[in-house]
Chain A
Amino acid sequence: MNTLAAKNASISRNGRCILRDATVSLSSGQLLSIVGPNGSGKSTLLRTLAGLWQASDGEVLLNGQPIQSLSRKDVAKRIAFVPQESLMDFSFTVGEIVAMGRHPHRGRFSRETATDREAVENALERCDVVQLRHRLVTTLSGGERQRVVIARGLAIDPEFILLDEPTANLDVEHGLEVLELCSTLAKDGKAVAFATHDLNAVARYASSVVLVQGGKLIDAGDREHVLSRKNVEEVFRVRAELVATDEGHPVYVFHRRTENYQSVSE
């Protein structure tokens, strides 16, 4: 069982505290969703967990060890981070980009091994981009790019996969594909976390949820508990309606608050 945990972690950038006292834990088989409005600190929390940003207070523990005490390469072997926007200015092929996922496993002078090639093949297949292998990334659509970047993360063969707004640039079909993939990865024993503001995606796929607002954790735990109508209405400042579906998970319908709106909590 692998665990990645933030303990009372705070992050300051340019003198401003953008994440305060966050305690979150992610372990094998879990599909955790970090939810909150724009600028609430979702991405910050994800980067902190990935060890990319160093906590100014508190700490992040990878299987009990402080993440800052591990080398960048050791962390990269175990945690894949999939950014929301990827820079694709140079015309590498999809195959080259996905093979970069093997970097943390390769020595400076070592050649590509059979294990490397196998991991790349698996990643290409899982993300359904085998047929794009020889395409230049500069010619891909947004959705194709996103799947290629996820494939690069999977090529690492990591224990933890952290995705920042993985469905933000995708159409409905590919968005669902990516979420299904996250769900399958979690079932296969990986620890998966994704940041999003798409509550319906969360309602359908995530097993546990962290709700953030203004750099603070509002609530964490089971989906039903955290995404209660009261929490959603408070954090997203809308009027929410929960509609049951045939598949069992609820669907949120949002309405702008009107003048004579009364919160459910009142």
Chain B
Amino acid sequence: MSAHAEIVRASAPAVAERQRLRLGMFYVVLLPVLAVSILAGIAIGSTPIPWQTILHVIGTKVLSHWVSTAGLSDSDIVIVWLIRVPRVMVAVFVGAGLATAGVIMQALFRNPLAEPGLVGAGPGAVLGAVIAFVAGWTLHSVLALPLAAIVGALLALVLVYAMATRGGVTPVATLLLAGIAVGTLLSALSSLLLSLHIVDWQIAQEIVFWMMGGLDSRTWTHLWICAPFVLLGVAAAMIQSRDLDLLQQGEETAASLGLDIEASKRLLTLTAALLTGAAVAVAGLLAFVGLVVPHAVRLVVGPSNRRLLPASALAGAAFLILCDLAARTLHPPTEIRLGVVTALIGGPIFIWLLWRRSWESGGESGSAGQ
């Protein structure tokens, strides 16, 4: 017993040291990867652009007083500044938003395999967008589609919440079931609208493409729609990071430690729905990003949400830029839909995590002798 305690005592500081080291290593690896993916996302495409030109164009836009446009062709400026930079930046915010929403959902449902769409926000956003297509609003304004999607996400959340709440109390298990039920219903309504308009091939094609997710022809407008919601959502999540830690210990424990759990759950699901809505609004449905990224990052940086949230947001950004790069370059000249790529990459990772989890918990219960 005392020998065992000695060993534990001797190795304990090493464990803390290793944790700090892992967090440090995570950023040492991730930040350069993010920077390189941003640069690669802008450089690589049907017209390759050298990185010097990219930095030059960005310089003329950001530091226009000091950097002249001399030596740059108009087409370089258009490709870099009007096509690729907004596309990559939208990927940054969508990836960060989905990963952050995933962190919130996984803490709220105390399940490391929960995902952002669980409270109906994903299917709600899709239905909003499909209505915008079918009603022809998308022809009038570029804002119609994303706004309809965000409104759809929030209305779906309100519906799910109303269904799951009784006497001011919203048990997470009921919330989950209501989310799945409403999500399935809303998805069916989207499919219904799609099948009713399948004869109008142009609308149907747009809907189908959009449902598969993608970042083609995204403009600065899309960035301005999505970025404020994502920044707001990530900030709100960071402010609630300790509440998320407490909720991961179970609702009763969280309440006994002073958390107003009903208010906290409302605010957190609202934050997650806004993030999901904003992401779906500009990028369509992207499977697995909000599920796989937080889970994988947690394995490296640990479960503390103060560390996990920013790390997941940045990792989500890098993951989505790289997926988008793959979508553009794997099968030229056709772009593979981004949602297909995230699912093809995320799916196997998810299966591996599941397999690893069941293997681990099997080992755990064995060693605990229960």
Contact = CB atoms under 8 A, between A and B. Distances in A.
Interface of A: 47, 50, 52, 71-73, 75-77, 79-81, 83, 86-87, 89-93, 96-97, 100-101, 103-104, 106, 108-109, 131-135, 138, 141-142, 152, 156
11 contacts: A47-B252, A52-B255, A93-B19, A93-B302, A96-B245, A97-B249, A103-B258, A131-B12, A134-B12, A135-B8, A135-B15
B260 A89 contact: no
B256 interface: yes
B249 A100 contact: yes
B256 A80 contact: yes
B13 interface: yes
A134 B245 contact: no
B112 interface: yes
Nearest to A109: B239
Nearest to B111: A89
Nearest to A80: B256
- The interface residues of chain B, by DSSP majority, are classed as helix
Nearest to A47: B252
B248 interface: yes
Interface residues of B, number: 32
Contact of A83 (B9, B16, B245, B253): B253
A79 B246 CA distance: 17
Nearest to A94: B12
B249 A86 contact: yes
Contact of A89 (B15, B248, B258): B248
Contact of A87 (B5, B13, B249, B303): B249
Contacts of A106: 242
B250 A87 contact: yes
A164 to B, nearest CB: 10
A141 B256 CA distance: 23
B258 A76 contact: yes
B200 interface: no
Contacts of A152: 257
B110 interface: yes
Contact of B256 (A52, A92, A96, A97): A52
B16 A134 contact: yes
Interface string B222-235: 00000000000000
Interface in B1-19: 5, 8-9, 12-13, 15-16, 19
Contacts of A92: 245, 248, 302-304
Contact of A90 (B13, B16, B112, B256): B112
B78 to A, nearest CB: 44
Contacts of A47: 252
Among B8, B239, B249, the most chain A Cβ lie within 10 Å of the Cβ of: B249
Contacts of A83: 250, 252-253, 256
Contacts of A132: 8
A141 B368 CA distance: 7
Nearest to A140: B368
Given A100-B245, A100-B257, A90 B303 contact: yes
A108 B238 CA distance: 11
A259 to B, nearest CB: 37
B256 A87 contact: no
B216 interface: no
A167 to B, nearest CB: 18
Given A87-B110, A91-B302, A132-B8, A73 B15 contact: no
Nearest to A130: B9
Closest 10 pairs (CB-CB, A-B):
A76-B258, A104-B258, A90-B303, A81-B256, A73-B258, A134-B15, A87-B250, A134-B12, A103-B257, A134-B16
A72 B258 contact: yes
Contacts of A101: 257
Contacts of A108: 239, 242
B230 to A, nearest CB: 21
Given A131-B9, A133-B12, A134-B15, A103 B250 contact: no
B206 interface: no
Given A96-B304, A135-B12, A135-B15, A89 B256 contact: no
B353 interface: no
A100 B257 CA distance: 8
A66 to B, nearest CB: 17
Contacts of B5: 131
A103 B248 CA distance: 14
B255 A72 contact: yes
B9 A138 contact: no
Nearest to B239: A108
Given A72-B259, A72-B260, A141-B368, A87 B253 contact: yes
A92 B248 CA distance: 10
Contacts of B250: 83, 86-87
Given A83-B256, A89-B111, 14 more contacts: A71-B260, A73-B258, A76-B255, A83-B252, A90-B248, A100-B242, A100-B257, A103-B246, A103-B258, A104-B257, A109-B239, A131-B5, A135-B12, A156-B257
Interface in B126-183: none
Contact of A86 (B253, B257, B298): B253
